[in-house]
Amino acid sequence: MKLPLENILFSALKIVVNQILPIIILPYLMKRLGDHQFGLMMIAQTVSLFGVATVEYGFNLTGVRRVVMIGPDRVQLLHLFRDINLVKLLFCLACVLLFSLFRLVSSASADLLLAIACSFLTVLGAALQPNWFFMGLERFRVISLSQVAARAVCLLSIFFVVAGPQDYLPALVLFFLPTLLSAGIQLVFCRQFFSGMGAVRHRFRLAHLVRCAVDGVDIYMGQMAATLFASVNTLVLGLVSGPADSGRYAFAEKLMRGLAVLSTPITEAIFPRVVAGLESNLSGALRFLSRILAWGVVAYGVGAVAAYVFFDAAMALLALQRGSDIKQIFAVIAIVPALIFCNNICGTQVVLGLGHARLYRNVVLVSGLALVAWSAALVMAWGVQGAAWALLLGEIGICAGMVWASLKVVRYPWIWR
């Protein structure tokens, strides 16, 4: 099995714009909006992650798998495309209804409610965005170019539009709009892919929609638990310490996740081929994954040391106040990217690739619920530093769980062979 280099390059381009560019934008927003409004924006973004996880419903994995299995049959692909899109839009409607209910019963500030409402631009974009479809077809070019165009335009506009706290609303719109714009671009490409097939009749049958929901339920629960795992500290800090501490923690965590996503071009690009390889040549696919795992962990170890060494210089370059506070948080979670990479190879590539969605869900669910408990305790005891330690301990737990799960489904120590 060979690395799909073209797909990796286009996925890397997408990561640069989706993850690295926002990290450059965040210090500017923190300085222009102030700690309080910036913290509210980070809390809203965290809330939106639950909506995104709901509307995507694991289709970035189950949808990819079904596209790979269908192959070049465009009629069946069209039926699958329509069914999954409808399910995603129904889930989006459910999210809107939940937010409306929350707004009626909540005593949250008007600024926070405004930020959460604007974050639904991202949720709607995730509902309309057919990333899963193009990943299954291995057309990463479409995903990357659409997201690059949308995010670059919106985030770079922030430098020209946002000058101070009075620009809070434009900042929110520009920050949360890119996913919706990229969805519109991708749907144009989908229209071209299915051109000439307008005569194909398609009836939305309840049994098909239920099948889509049933196929994704285990992965959805696992990804929702993972979302809870990744975001609970920001929410708990917002409740216990206030938006300012929540914003500083969120900034340090985003720097860490900026390192973590550097491997995403590889893991995204190889997943369709790993799924096929695990079916046709299990031992060969596992040898391929074990080599990637070894090199990735070593690279992330070196990267964590380098990031810590040059952290002060980066904060000075950005002229960001309280950079030392952010560094203390980052020092605790610097090795988390290596753990996340291990989780992806052992969990997503092996456990999910072999079809053990329920086992994957159980590992993430147990870890996510455990993190909620000790996050609250550690934040109340040690504030921001407690949140950082809670995240580190949680990632260690989930990494151990995914390694165990992969060994369980493979039934031999593939990691060391």
pLDDT digits (tens, 9 = 90+) for 337-394: 899 999 999 988 999 888 887 888 788 778 777 777 777 788 788 888 888 888 888 8
Measured CA to CA, the distance from residue 344 to residue 321 in angstroms comes to 34
What letter would DSSP give residue 414? G
Measured CA to CA, the distance from residue 155 to residue 12 in angstroms comes to 18
pLDDT digits (tens, 9 = 90+) for 21-35: 776 788 888 888 888
φ/ψ region of 109 (left if φ > 0, alpha if ψ in -120 to 50, else beta) reads: beta
Q: Is the pTM of this model over 0.85?
A: no
Residue type for position 231: S
pLDDT digits (tens, 9 = 90+) for 229-269: 667 777 777 777 777 777 778 878 878 887 887 787 788 77
Measured CA to CA, the distance from residue 390 to residue 333 in angstroms comes to 10
Q: Do the Cβ atoms of 128 and 81 come closer than 8 Å? A: no
pLDDT greater at residue 284 or residue 199: 284
Measured CA to CA, the distance from residue 189 to residue 86 in angstroms comes to 18
pLDDT at 127 over 90: yes
Terminal C-alpha separation, the chain: 17
Q: Do the Cβ atoms of 73 and 64 come closer than 8 Å? A: no
pLDDT digits (tens, 9 = 90+) for 162-181: 988 899 999 999 999 999 99
Query: 185-199: b or e for each residue (b if 16 or more CB lie within 10 Å)?
Result: bbeebbeebbeeeee
Measured CA to CA, the distance from residue 212 to residue 143 in angstroms comes to 22
Task: Give Cβ neighbours of residue 83 (< 8 Å, ≥ 6 apart).
Answer: 204, 208, 209, 212
